[in-house]
Chain A
Amino acid sequence: MRIGVFVCHCGSNIEGTVDTGTVAKAALDFPEVVYATDTMYACSEPGQDGIIQAIKDKNLTGVVVASCTPRMHEPTFRRAVERAGLNRFMFEMANIREHVSWIGKDREANTNKSVDLVRIAVEKLRRDAPLIPSKFSVNKRVMIIGGGVAGIQAALDCADGGLEVVLVERDSSIGGKMAKLDKTFPTVDCSSCILGPKMVDVAQHPNITLHAYSEVDSIGGYVGNFQVQVKKKATYVDWELCTGCGACMEKCPSKKNPDAFNEKIGPSTSINIPFPQAIPKKAYIDATTCRQFVKGKCGVCAKVCPTGAIRYDMTDEIVTEDVGAIVAATGYDLFDISKIAEYGGGRYPDVITGLQYERLLSASGPTGGHIKRPSDGKEPKNIVFIQCVGSRDKSLDRPYCSGFCCMYTAKQTILTKDHIPDSQSYVFYMDIRAPGKMYDEFTRRAMEEYGARYIRGRVAMVYPKGDKLMVRGADTLAGTQVEIEADLVVLAAGAEAAKGAPQLAEKLRISYDKYGFFMESHPKLKPVETNTAGVYLAGSCQGPKDIPQSVGQGSAAAAKVLALFSKDMLESDPQISRVDIKRCVGCGKCIMTCPFKAIKEVEFRGQKKAEVIETVCQGCGICTSTCPQGAIQLSHFTDNQILAEVNALCQS
């Protein structure tokens, strides 16, 4: 082998504490190294050209770059050696930035350690072999999980791009939180007027199949070829027949159930179409409250339904969908305000969440768009808004900012003044976070034109006094305590990961953070990708996001899917395990340890053997350390290569 070594300065990042010239010189003494040099920025265009030129001039057959983390630039350099005609796996990296220059200041020690790391890389490279990816075909259908605005946008963009789309929504209608909002900041346009048409597009698009009232049961397969089992929950109404006329709802005798769509501040019937613009506009029965199910007799809806759609004996049904990519867009949930006992949410009816307030403002809400207190239906005059309830609070394990509460609180003060001109809004805030386009202007308008009184400080407690609520807090700008007599208190409850998000993440084999939000592949450069190929993210399932951001991400995820599907064949990563059939004794230990179910049992000349399913194997290497025979080896990380690295280190 003819090996070339390139030691990068990374500006002063590495050169500041490592003598790269010395490292390069030392590398010349290593076996099979025929060329070594230091270079200013190996990743830059001249840097890469230098590598390519050297490969050609010196007839190199393998390359080591000593620079930053392979996470950053391994693909860059692999592409470069490939351009020079080598196989992309005839390349190794030594991380002398994160592992050396960034963590130590002693130039001599750093230089020595860098030499060692290069020695290790050379020894590994000497045992590298070209690897050729295999190709497999792609199923160009995509599944979107979650039908909020992010999921809707992703579905429409994919469908318009010519893809077949399967949209899975666990509620009986799509729309998510946005469907519950009255108006939206910063333009104060009617939420259902801008979302409604998109929802209709979903229903009418020939490329979109909608599974509402459904959940993902299990996911198998891999990028290009996923098999997803979708559980269609029993609605007890035949949706083929239901016309959404609503006759059943009118006659249903069970009328006092808390209405989930109205955030439980209004009543609903047991058979229900959640809201007038629902998509699909179909009825479903809530079996936990329906008299037919609870008491065994009623049957009113079955009698009145003009199309005979009611099916009390319906059961859950599983359908399998084969897709090539998946977009998770499962959104968020609200922080449970009853966890902050001092604010009395859940105890005092007139302490409500911001989302409940949206329902009070909405013309299709339980009060027909008139702001009335839940306790006695009176019109409130003094309304106190408390921000950061369950956000930016370490003591509640919610240290993160929920992003949109500052803005929706400002919006709600504006709408309040529009609804009740002689009202006064007070807002307790920590600081105003309004960085979007026209956002700061919007919060200023709430204060300056709509007279909302902003008080910087936390509220200590809310307690009832007669039919009022006393709100006691601090005004940290004035340095005093304040007490406000309120008719209604609205808590800007922060965002939490959607219920069941971690379980779904495990089915998708993607990571989630400690709060349950899904993790993107790279926070800056791969915001809608995940670490599992073919699985993308959109909207606030990844962290709190407002509508513009969620829609932007929905489109971004769609673009990623379209790019993925622009090829007919995909290449699999050849860094996977392979079984040496002669050595394998068929003990099956690898089958049991593989977390990805990538190994199956096969018959070979009458004997049991293990076989790796190439497209499923993630190259984690767990099986290789399990196999008692050493029969299963991870390509590019074989036992021999790792031992050679250890030996090289011990020699130094």
Chain B
Amino acid sequence: MSEAIAYYPGCSGLGTSKEYDTSTRAVCAALGLSLVDIPDWSCCGSTPAHTKDHTLSAALSARNLQLVSGMGLKAAATPCPSCLTNLRTANHRIEAAPFKAKVDKLLDEPYGGDVNAISVLQALVENIGVETIASAVRTPLKGLKVACYYGCIMNRPPELMAFDDCENPMAMDNILAALGAEVVPFPLKVECCGASYGIPRPDVTAALSGKLLEAAVGVGADMVAVACPLCQMNLDLRQGQVNRAMGTHYRIPVPYFTQLMGVALNIPDGEIGFGKLNVDPRPVLSKALSGAD
């Protein structure tokens, strides 16, 4: 049993990526990692705040970290790499005293900078450990070929994120291997999927996400496991757009890695939430697990 960690689901965790949130909670509970909700948490600032005003952006994130500090906890885990970037950036920026003073002015209570923000992925690797995960597996994902896609900001910039290799991360690969899946070497692990360009320039996202899908299919993956709500959306929900733009016919499931963990740990379907994905992983999954071709 490891120490309790505060849990910061982020706005998408309660909306577009509900299934990432529920599967994360269920998996952590099953593995004995106690996630404690932060009372009255608010948005981390997301993309708009930091493009407009660094102080405001840092204050929005710092407010949440300050709340964690108030709970008497030292660390907060978030499933979303974008939230993670904002939380970590806030911690980094307030190391400069003048900046911290400006941020503190916007907060109800000053924040000491003493709460470490980490990703759920990092929490699973570091607080639980790959061996423990392996020993908790009930349904091994034998026969399933997975490409692990980390997205471009989970490990970058490396000085800020300070976790795993920024060009060739292995944390998710190691977890999925521990679940019994066959992890295929995926060369574009940290390439950009197009991120929020899906809104102003869908052609850019289609090209970039198309390249990722092409590579994943090229290395023979049955699925692409992801750890980011935005990546998931671009690769899964926009797969039709990609196909139309690129003249391709991909239909490859793009589940969250926590959902695949859920399957291996025998978490009930309701919490895994496969039904919320565009391309349903279940047919491919059951085919792979049954050993059929």
Contact = CB atoms under 8 A, between A and B. Distances in A.
Contacts of B188: 463
Interface string B157-171: 000000001111000
Given A347-B185, A463-B188, A341 B168 contact: yes
B215 to A, nearest CB: 7
Interface in B41-72: none
Interface string A334-362: 00000011101001000000000000000
Nearest to A348: B187
Contacts of B168: 341-342, 347
B134 to A, nearest CB: 24
A344 B187 contact: yes
The winner among B166, B185, B187, B188 for most chain A CB atoms within 10 A is: B187
Contacts of B185: 347, 464
A466 interface: yes
Interface residues of B, number: 11
Contacts of B98: none
Contact of B215 (A340, A341, A344, A465): A465
B210 to A, nearest CB: 14
B218 interface: yes
Interface string A439-462: 000000000000000000000010
Contact of B165 (A341, A461, A464, A465): A341
Interface residues of A, number: 10
Nearest to B186: A463
A465 B167 contact: no
B218 A466 contact: yes
A244 B205 CA distance: 64
A460 to B, nearest CB: 9
B158 to A, nearest CB: 9
Contacts of A465: 187, 215, 218
Interface string B180-194: 000001011001000
Interface string A91-135: 000000000000000000000000000000000000000000000
Nearest to B169: A341
B167 A463 contact: no
Contacts of A464: 185, 187, 219
Nearest to A465: B218
A463 B187 CA distance: 5
Nearest to B166: A341
B194 to A, nearest CB: 15
Interface in B186-233: 187-188, 191, 215, 218-219
A463 B215 contact: yes
A344 B187 CA distance: 9
B218 A340 contact: no
A464 B185 CA distance: 10
A485 to B, nearest CB: 13
B246 to A, nearest CB: 15
A300 B176 CA distance: 46
A465 B215 CA distance: 7
5 contacts: A341-B166, A342-B168, A344-B187, A461-B187, A463-B215
Given A340-B167, A341-B167, 14 more contacts: A341-B166, A341-B168, A342-B167, A344-B187, A347-B185, A461-B187, A463-B187, A463-B188, A463-B215, A464-B187, A465-B187, A465-B215, A465-B218, A466-B218
Shortest 10 CB-CB contacts between residues of A and residues of B: A463-B187, A341-B167, A341-B168, A342-B167, A341-B165, A464-B187, A465-B218, A463-B188, A466-B218, A465-B215
